[in-house]
Amino acid sequence: MPRAFSELTFTPAVRTHQERMGSTKTYSKFLESGPRQGHQIGPVEEAFIHARDGFYQATVSETGWPYVQFRGGPVGFPKVLDPQTIGYADLSGNKQYISRGNLDGNDRVALILMDYANQRRLKILGRMTFSEGVEAATNLYVDGSETEAERAAIIKVEALDWNCPRHITPRFTEAELRPHLNTLGKQLADLQTENQRLQRELAELKASGA
């Protein structure tokens, strides 16, 4: 776990539980002095983010309740704008505006980006701001989106961490399965053609009395 992420998440209450459960020694090293890491997006993270077609986004309401929402769109709709900034076109949805309202009172967000097929997940903590209106989101809008954008959502990254792959059940999208399904489809078509050929040869042999 990078130092930047542990600095934000290892609160006094968390440290108390680590001590009680015997994991303080294991995790103390992440808070020790040294080069600060995990607060910028590198090439690996950038490629991972650009390959996503959705992520989970958590906000906190003014009454203290967390709210988790799935944000989806065409592959590549979350864009890395610089090493500490992510942006996306916030598409029109069901008009509840729960996340949007929460962020008026608390600009903190937590993201989890999943790659189920390869059992990878990236956690991001940041602060979100908005530029309202369709025009503001023009440069972030991705062709193929199901609805128009209502605003540009900009996240200033404060920390990120690659999470343990344990317990991630592999799942595959249609796009991820399509090359394998195409290969299986061709093999099946070849077998059907060969089977038809053998049936014709067998019929001809029977007809000839052989």
Chain CA centroid to CA 177, Å: 18
118 and 47 housed in the same domain: yes
Instruction: Classify residue 167: in a domain, yes or no.
Output: no
Q: Give the tens place of pLDDT for each residue, 118-152.
A: 999 999 999 999 999 888 888 998 888 888 888 99
92 and 131 housed in the same domain: yes
DSSP annotation of 76 reads T
For the chain, how many structural domains are there in total? 3
CA-to-CA distance for 52 and 74, rounded, in angstroms? 8
CB-facing half-sphere around the CA of 100: CA atoms within 13 A: 15
43 and 115 housed in the same domain: yes
Instruction: Classify residue 94: in a domain, yes or no.
Output: yes
**Closest CA relative to residue 71, chosen from 156, 6, 147, 133:** 147
Instruction: Classify residue 184: in a domain, yes or no.
Output: yes
Residue span of the structural domain in which 188 resides: 173-210
Chain CA centroid to CA 191, Å: 39
Instruction: Classify residue 168: in a domain, yes or no.
Output: no
pLDDT at 210: 61
The pTM of the full predicted model, rounded to 2 decimals, is 0.84
Q: How confident is the model at residue 35 (pLDDT cuts 50, 70, 90)?
A: low
Q: How confident is the model at residue 207 (pLDDT cuts 50, 70, 90)?
A: confident
Residue 60 φ/ψ, nearest 5 degrees = -125, 135
Instruction: Classify residue 154: in a domain, yes or no.
Output: yes
106 and 151 housed in the same domain: yes
67 and 135 housed in the same domain: yes
145 and 178 housed in the same domain: no
CA-to-CA distance for 30 and 159, rounded, in angstroms? 13
30 and 81 housed in the same domain: no
CA dihedral 203, 204, 207, 210 (to 10 degrees): -110
Exposure b/e, 99-113, CB count within 10 A at least 16 = b: bbebbeeeeebbbeb
Element (H, E) at 130: strand 120-132
121 and 74 housed in the same domain: yes
Domain CATH for 72:
2.30.110.10
65 and 124 housed in the same domain: yes
136 and 149 housed in the same domain: yes
Instruction: Classify residue 95: in a domain, yes or no.
Output: yes
23 and 48 housed in the same domain: no
130 and 57 housed in the same domain: yes
